[in-house]
A and B are shown apart, each in its own frame.
Chain A
Amino acid sequence: MAPGKWVNEQVSSFWTRYLYFVGIRQQNDQLRVELDAAKQELAGLREYASEVERLRQLLSLTPPVDWTRLGARIISHRLGPNAALETFLIDKGSAHGVTVNAPVVSPDGVVGRVLRISPTAATILLITDPNSRIPVVSQKNRTQGVVKGEGPTKELTLQYVPQGAPIEEGEILVTSGLEEIFPKGLPVARITTVGRSGSSLFQLINAQPLFSPRQLEEVGLLFRTTSLQPAGAAAPAPTQPVSPVVTPAPLPARSAKGLKSPAAIPPAPGQGAPLPPPPPAPAPQPAPAAAKPAEAVKKRDAAKPDAAKPEAEKKRRKPARTEGQ
């Protein structure tokens, strides 16, 4: 009987272990599936946490007074044979209030400006493009110059800095706001080298942009909110993007050329001081005065001093030159 019992125990033990291992195998397979799902979820959460961190940094960017911001996602970098400029595409367009020349910034500093728009996308011209020029001022020594892009993977150059002007390596260049596109004080680049040329009147200065174009995923767009609005008008909510009332001129020369002097602007209908009584028409030439009464009114308005106009009218016509200067 003993051998029979021994055989019975061995067989039952073997069977029990077999069933146990089958259970372990099934449990192992199930745990592997759960581990894969957990790994996938962890990767997604890490990506989500990274995005939250980037968006938090973007939100930490405080727009200057009278400016508001709008976040945008980069959907494409330079792409295709027609991509001659250093640009990228964002997922916000004219339907979201984006306008041409709107400043584009990252948490590190200025990225570029809007080059062209479509209803749902916009092309951004980077500051590293050779066609990009931004007037800047050094943060410490307040030396002015113009930052020019030199192409991809190349440093920016700071132009038109006189030989004797104080400027240091490592100094941060910030926007001066003279071009009326960027608000004053946004960081643009860090000076890397300062050199001199014997024949040139200006220093040879290189600067490194503060952002990495290939690592950018989200950017912020800045918009003017209250400039050029009539006095007394309610300012829009700071969180809502608002289109600029007037598209800023790209060049100061063009801007100055296009501006009219206050005396040359005729008052709007229903605004301005009441007209003085018309002077008596000269007797020898009655026909021209009677034929062009509107011109006579315009001439009177042009000769009228500004003090007679209401304060609100003056503010409305004041150009946005005070912004960022």
Chain B
Amino acid sequence: MRPAHIVFWVCVTFGGVWLQNLVPGVDFLAPGLILAMQEERWPVSVWLAFIWLFIHEGTGSMPFGAGILWYGALAGIYFFGHWLFEARNFLFMFILGASLGSMHFLLINLMALLQDWSLPMDRLLIECAQQTLIFPIEWGLLYLIHHNLPDNPHAA
């Protein structure tokens, strides 16, 4: 991998964790995973997903496995969706964000049900809406930055 790309993904990781601290309940690393699956070779995506999975599992309060379900479902929706849509279409990203928001609601409720937890539903719905809106916007920004990296063949 080229040095500029390494710096880019390191910045995405640190920036994502910082933003997740600012806006709890929203995954700021998921757009990066989709971008990695679109633009990078698959080992890069696997390594990034592996690292980010541990960040989510370590910082979250859910039992181990929620992060695997989260990123597994995201990758599954992406692979299923890119047969039907243009993979780099903003509309597809918006649909993916909406799916992620819905999945956040379902996954958290499922885990809460299994653990016999009670959750504030209003906060959960707000997080789902934030995830739906933030996902395509962040993906668009990351896509633009990634395409303008110095050693990117797509760079102008």
Contact = CB atoms under 8 A, between A and B. Distances in A.
Interface string A77-97: 111111111010100000000
Contacts of B112: 84
B120 A130 contact: yes
Given A151-B123, A152-B120, A152-B123, A81 B21 contact: no
Classify the interface of chain B: helix, strand, loop or mixed: helix
A115 interface: yes
A150 B26 CA distance: 21
B32 interface: no
A28 interface: no
A100 to B, nearest CB: 13
Interface in B7-30: 17, 20-21, 24-27, 30
Contacts of B123: 151-152
Given A83-B59, A84-B108, A85-B61, A77 B21 contact: yes
B25 A81 contact: yes
B24 A85 contact: no
Interface stretch (B37-45, B62-70, B146-154): B62-70
Contact of A83 (B17, B25, B70, B131): B25
Interface residues of A, number: 24
A84 B117 contact: yes
Contacts of A85: 61, 117
Contacts of A80: 20, 24-25, 27, 55-56, 59-60
Contacts of B108: 84
Contacts of B131: 81
B151 to A, nearest CB: 31
Contact of B24 (A78, A131, A150): A78
A313 to B, nearest CB: 39
Interface in A120-176: 121, 123, 125, 130-131, 150-152, 154
A325 interface: no
Nearest to A130: B118
B119 interface: yes
Contacts of A150: 120
A151 B120 contact: yes
A194 B118 CA distance: 24
B74 to A, nearest CB: 10
Contacts of B117: 84-85, 130-131
Contacts of A50: none
B155 interface: no
A247 interface: no
Given A130-B118, A130-B119, A131-B118, A84 B60 contact: yes
A154 B119 CA distance: 13
A76 interface: yes
A101 B57 CA distance: 20
B61 A84 contact: yes
Q: B111, B123, B131: which has the most chain A beta carbons within 10 Å?
A: B123
Nearest to A81: B27
Contacts of B26: 81
Interface in A225-253: none
A87 B62 CA distance: 11
Interface of B: 17, 20-21, 24-27, 30, 55-62, 66-67, 70, 104, 108, 111-112, 117-120, 122-123, 127, 131
Given A83-B60, A83-B61, A85-B61, 16 more contacts: A77-B21, A79-B21, A81-B27, A81-B56, A81-B127, A83-B24, A83-B59, A84-B61, A85-B117, A115-B61, A116-B61, A118-B58, A121-B58, A130-B117, A131-B117, A151-B122
19 contacts: A76-B59, A77-B21, A78-B24, A78-B25, A79-B20, A79-B60, A80-B27, A80-B56, A80-B59, A81-B25, A81-B27, A81-B56, A84-B61, A89-B59, A121-B58, A123-B61, A130-B118, A152-B120, A154-B120
